[in-house]
Amino acid sequence: MTPHAPTPRIAPSILSADFARLADEIAMCEAGGADWIHVDVMDGQFVPNITFGTKVIETVRKLTDLPLDCHLMIVQPERFFDDFAAAGASGLTIHAEVAPHLQRQLTRIRELGCRPGVAVNPSTPLTSVADVIADFDLLLVMTVNPGFGGQEFIPHSLDKIQRARILLAGAESRATLEVDGGISRATIGDCWRAGAEAFVAGNAIFSAKAPKAEIGILRDACAVSV
Ligand code: DX5
Ligand code: ZN
């Protein structure tokens, strides 16, 4: 079984960035070798926090050519697909918990020219996405309950990451397996070895003493054998 992509993808989450210095923060991510910029859209309904929407996606789009990996923690996400695509989103990841018409919603994201992704909360079984594997290009396994940066990685997520990798391999899917929440030097290696290949990191990067170097340190941590 092919475990995963040959190199880890690191996606800094701007949720933890200093918004007064957003341009510098994005430039730092680029200089540090980030693969994607992760944009957390929250609505105060699906998750107990409100962040940002179209305007910020548009702003970040102007600041970088890196792909914008937009994670929609919002109810009825389809209301915003057109706006977010027009604002420059590269990928739109929606939550299975609030997407009863997942197949249609993912298809619409693809029609808009964005990479369709689906996310599952820690309590949501992988079976909720098993019948739409052909419709998504990214599977996001949440390793915290979404809503806030800086939370602790849930250790038994590792088992779920392994099962997600097996699910994708069994369906011969080339979808990227991403993890989000509590990813740090201490947790990223185990996630990589469990089969994850894209890593969202907020606090670990933006609160590091040397944020630019931390991006490479996280990537290198995947290469360490245990
Ligand atoms: C959590 C968000 C994450 C968050 C991760 O709800 O989806 O993307 O920014 O932050 P850290 O890496 O600090 O756990
Ligand atoms: Zn996220």
Over residues 154-167, the pLDDT tens digits come to 999 999 999 999 99
Token pair of 128 as six digits: 């909720």
Residues in CB range of 76: below 8 A, 6 or more apart: 98
Is the minimum distance from the CB of 157 to ligand 1 under 6 angstroms?
A: no
**In this structure, which ligand is nearest to the CA of 12?**
1
Q: Could you say which DSSP state residue 50 is in? A: B
Q: Is the pLDDT of residue 6 over 90?
A: no
CA distances from 87 to 6, 53, 74, 82, 175 (A): 31, 10, 17, 8, 24
Grade residue 3 by pLDDT with cuts at 50, 70 and 90. low
| Other beta carbons less than 10 A from residue 43's beta carbon | 18
Put simply, whether the predicted model's pTM sits higher than 0.95 gets the answer yes
Work out the average pLDDT over 134-159.
98
Q: Could you say which DSSP state residue 7 is in? A: S
pLDDT in tens, 64-118: 999 999 999 999 999 999 999 999 999 999 999 999 999 999 999 999 999 999 9
Residue 188 Cα to ligand 1 middle (Å): 14
Kindly report the backbone phi and psi dihedral angles of residue 145, in degrees, each rounded to the nearest multiple of 5, phi listed first: -80, 125
Residue 226 pLDDT: 76
Is the minimum distance from the CB of 12 to ligand 1 under 6 angstroms?
A: no
3-state secondary structure of 133: helix
Residue 33 Cα to ligand 1 middle (Å): 19
3-state secondary structure of 152: coil
Q: Report percent pLDDT > 70 for the chain.
A: 99
Q: Is the pLDDT of residue 1 over 80?
A: no
Residue 224 pLDDT: 82
Q: Which residue has the higher pLDDT, 193 or 6?
A: 193
Q: Is the pLDDT of residue 213 over 80?
A: yes
**In this structure, which ligand is nearest to the CA of 42?**
1
Buried b (16+ CB within 10 A) or exposed e, 45-60: ebbeeebbbbebbebb
Q: Is the pLDDT of residue 37 over 70?
A: yes
Work out the average pLDDT over 137-154.
98
